[in-house]
């Protein structure tokens, strides 16, 4: 299989598989997958089936609709193929992919679905899915990510999750969970549905809760537009504002160094780690919303979100053997705090809301990454507010007590801002502070009284904000041993351990999806019933029957 690096940066003029059109407050996003446009050779994307390349374009479209088009209150998602909506993830692609590729593909796909759901719920940009042909597997999962599903009642169009009977796997991006947790389909009906290759169509699909309405094919466009107009009328997105262009993200790669404007990464292959440094702002924040608008993608919080998001995706897809990410920050903590005040003071503005939500999504992507994450807090760092979330997301953090011998300057400090108390909830619905202190809920309220304080290592350790606080004598050895120890453990064991420890507290739709993706899909995707020489993924479409090991495990 082709092993060239996956590129996540794209733009509409480069799309192969999607078309965007605009009509007043309504956008139409049309899926028209180019059969010979796969990200890797060896398969054709027939029947609007998709691979990672299709989803990369979808993710870009979701971002642009939110940032570049404040006037859009509703998005109609439909197919450009005459008699098919979407056949789901491409089976040939899955059959030839490595296990890691399949799981990473499923994770990114689901994060994109989550972004669509957040667009409807938080950005007030409602998504309506128009199912105009058979809609199966990941195609139906895409439909379920939308707020409202309208389906053609024509005797041909159906919705289905046929992975169990056809492929011996599960809907890989949360299909089963969305079915019962989001759409609240009865368990017995869901059981029947998930074992039917042909799926369900017509009025029964509405009665059982799989879609919201069915109409004749001739009425489908009219109905879709009416629903879009109704939902667009409820938005609080501004009609007269201009969006900001998501201009191409600048990135340079020189050997094992990756550099953006505010984020840099150095890869140490022998040690199996990536050292990621986020740089603080180089100027004071704009004084008002007009200034933020004028700054555009150069506005520091938005620039950091875009750069860190791209880096995380790049490392996930292209650096599988780099299992430990070490996070540092460099800069002026007071400037970071000033930007946080701007994000708080203008939280009601549509653009600031989008920037905050983007930061939230990026931090969630960090949480859900199957990599060990350590934070190193040293003199000159700026782990304040939004950037402190990086340390709180880490599996453990080390903060230098005092200064380094022979170095001038002040000791390292950390600082809380109001952004640490609700702006960036994790997938469990709790802040990272609330998750951290699940056993001491009063601690979070106490910490609110310390907003704006510069806390040195002793104070941060007493407050529970960092894990270890070695002094200069012990720092180098303690950090080195910790990194070497982590690199020596089994990556499989670490992935399971980290996923189990990061999301304490209540279960949500997202934690169920990612937990089951880590467990069920990791297991099922490696079983011979699915991927063996006579497993369902390999013999699909050949006319041969799958051979299953009948033992329940």
Q: Which pair of tokens denotes residue 428?
A: 């469990």
Q: What is the pLDDT of residues 350-409, one digit of tens each?
A: 999 999 999 999 999 999 999 999 999 999 999 999 999 999 999 999 999 999 988 888
Residue 285 lies in a domain: yes
Assess if residue 525 is contained within a domain.
no
* Side-by-side strand order, sheet with 74-79: 18-23, 26-31, 74-79, 126-131, 148-152, 213-215
The pLDDT, as a whole number, for residue 521 is 67
- For 176-193, the pLDDT digits (tens) are 999 999 999 999 999 999
Specify whether 491 is located in the same domain as 456.
Answer: yes
**Cα gap 398→467, rounded to integer Å:** 6
Q: What CATH number did the domain enclosing 57 receive?
A: 3.90.226.10
Q: What total of structural domains would you count in the chain? A: 2
pLDDT in tens, 52-66: 999 999 999 999 999
Within 327-453, residue ranges assigned H as helices are 333-345, 350-367, 388-393, 432-436, 441-448
Cα 184 from chain centre: 23
Torsion, Cα 64 68 74 75, to 10 degrees, reads -30
Check whether residue 430 and residue 293 sit in a common domain. Answer: yes
Q: Is residue 203 part of a domain?
A: yes
Q: Please report whether residue 303 resides in a domain.
A: yes
Same domain for 225 and 268?
A: no
d(CA 137, CA 162): 6
Cα-based torsion angle of the residue sequence 526, 527, 533, 536 in order, rounded to the nearest 10 degrees: -100
Q: Report d(CA 97, CA 91) in Å as an integer.
A: 10
Domain identity same for 143 and 210 = yes
Position 373 scores a pLDDT of 98
| Structure tokens, 18 | 């999607």
Question: Is 1's pLDDT higher than 60?
Answer: no
Residues 212 and 260 in one domain: no
DSSP letter at 534 equals T
Tell me which of 198, 232, 266 is where a domain ends.
232
- CA dist 28 → 31, 81, 132, 182, 329 (Å): 10, 14, 14, 24, 41
How far apart are the C-alpha atoms of 432 and 462, rounded to whole Å? 17
Same domain, 170 and 297: no
Among 459, 479, 502, which residue terminates a domain?
502
Q: What is the pLDDT of residue 66?
A: 98
Confidence of residue 413 (pLDDT cuts 50, 70, 90): very high
Same domain, 177 and 304: no
Cα 457 to Cα 201: distance, rounded to the nearest angstrom: 62
- 433 pLDDT exceeds 80? yes
Which residue, among 482, 504, 486, has the nearest Cα to 495 in the 3D structure? 486
Domain match, 291 and 207 both: no
**Is 272 among the domain residues?**
yes
Report yes or no on 42 lying in a domain: yes
Give me the mean pLDDT over the 212-229 stretch: 96
Residues counted in the chain = 553
Residues 189 and 299 in one domain: no
Q: How far apart are CA 351 and CA 289, in angstroms?
A: 8
What proportion of the chain, given as a percentage, has pLDDT over 70?
A: 99
pLDDT value of residue 508: 94
Mean pLDDT of 72-99: 94
Reported pTM: 0.95
pLDDT classification of 216: cutoffs 50, 70, 90: very high
Q: What are phi and psi of 388, to 5 degrees?
A: -65, -25
Same domain flag for 292 and 435: yes
Query: How much is the mean pLDDT over the chain?
Result: 95
- The range of the structural domain enclosing residue 334 comes to 252-502
With a cut of 80, say whether residue 234 has pLDDT above it. yes
Burial of residue 1 (number of CB atoms within 10 Å: 0-12, 13-18, 19+) = exposed
Same domain, 214 and 281: no
pLDDT tens profile 25-44: 999 999 999 999 999 999 99
Residue 119 shares a structural domain with residue 225: yes
**pLDDT (0 to 100) of residue 172:** 74
- For residue 29, being part of any structural domain is answered with yes
Per-residue pLDDT of 154-168, as tens digits, reads: 999 999 999 989 888
Q: Average pLDDT, stretch 72-101?
A: 93
Kindly state whether residue 552 falls inside one of the protein's structural domains.
no
Q: Which helix (H) or strand (E) holds 214?
A: strand 213-215
The number of angstroms, rounded, from the C-alpha of 137 to the middle of its chain's C-alpha atoms is 20
Question: Last residue of a domain, which of 232, 263, 282?
Answer: 232
Residue identified by tokens 């992935």 is: 495
């Amino acid at each position: 299989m082709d092993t060239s690096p996956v590129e996540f940066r794209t733009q509409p003029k480069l799309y192969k598989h999607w078309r965007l059109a605009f009509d007043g407050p309504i956008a139409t996003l049309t899926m028209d997958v180019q059969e010979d446009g796969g990200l890797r050779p060896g398969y054709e994307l027939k029947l609007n089936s998709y691979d990672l390349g299709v989803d990369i374009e979808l993710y870009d479209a979701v971002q642009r609709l939110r940032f570049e088009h404040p006037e859009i209150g509703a998005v109609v998602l439909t197919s450009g193929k005459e008699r098919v909506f979407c056949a789901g993830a491409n089976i040939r692609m899955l059959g030839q992919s490595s296990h890691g590729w399949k799981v990473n593909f499923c994770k990114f796909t689901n994060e994109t679905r989550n972004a669509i759901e957040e667009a409807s719920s938080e950005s007030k940009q409602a998504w309506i899915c128009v199912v105009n042909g058979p809609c199966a597997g990941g195609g139906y999962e895409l439909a379920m990510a939308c707020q409202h599903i309208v389906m053609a009642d024509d005797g041909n169009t159906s919705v289905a999750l046929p992975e169990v009977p056809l492929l011996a796997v599960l809907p890989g991006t949360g299909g089963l969970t969305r079915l019962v947790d989001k759409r609240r389909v009865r368990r017995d009906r869901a059981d029947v549905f998930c074992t039917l290759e042909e799926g369900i169509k017509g009025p029964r699909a509405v009665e059982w809760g799989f879609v919201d309405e069915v109409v004749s094919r001739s009425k489908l466009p009219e109905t879709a537009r009416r629903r879009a107009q109704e939902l667009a009328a409820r938005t609080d997105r501004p009609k007269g504002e201009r969006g900001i262009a998501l201009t191409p993200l600048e990135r340079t790669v020189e050997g094992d160094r990756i550099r953006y404007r505010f984020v840099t990464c150095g890869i140490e292959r022998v040690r199996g780690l990536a050292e990621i440094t986020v740089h603080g702002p180089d100027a004071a924040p704009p004084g008002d919303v007009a200034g933020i608008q004028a700054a555009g993608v150069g506005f520091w919080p938005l620039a950091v979100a875009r750069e860190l998001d791209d880096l995380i995706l790049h490392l996930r897809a292209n650096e599988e053997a780099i299992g430990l990410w070490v996070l540092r920050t460099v800069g002026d903590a007071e400037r970071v705090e000033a930007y946080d005040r701007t994000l708080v003071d203008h939280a009601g503005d549509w653009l600031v809301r989008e920037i905050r939500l983007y930061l939230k999504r990026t931090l969630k992507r960090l949480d859900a990454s199957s990599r060990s994450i350590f934070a190193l807090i040293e003199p000159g760092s700026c782990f304040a507010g939004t950037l402190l979330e990086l340390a709180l997301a880490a599996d453990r953090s080390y903060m230098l007590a005092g200064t380094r011998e022979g170095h001038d300057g002040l000791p390292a400090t950390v600082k809380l801002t109001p952004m640490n108390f609700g702006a960036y909830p994790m997938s469990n619905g709790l802040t990272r502070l609330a998750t951290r202190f699940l056993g001491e809920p009063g601690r979070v309220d106490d910490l609110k009284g310390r907003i704006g304080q510069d806390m040195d290592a002793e104070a941060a350790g007493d407050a529970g904000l960092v894990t270890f606080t070695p002094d200069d004598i012990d720092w180098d050895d303690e950090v080195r041993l910790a990194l070497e120890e982590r690199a020596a453990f089994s990556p499989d064991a670490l992935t399971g351990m980290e996923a189990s420890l990061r999301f304490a507290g209540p279960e949500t739709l997202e934690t169920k999806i990612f937990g089951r993706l880590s467990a069920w899909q990791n297991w099922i995707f490696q079983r011979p019933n699915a991927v063996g020489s006579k497993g369902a993924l390999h013999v699909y479409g050949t006319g041969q029957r799958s051979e299953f090991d009948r033992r329940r495990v």
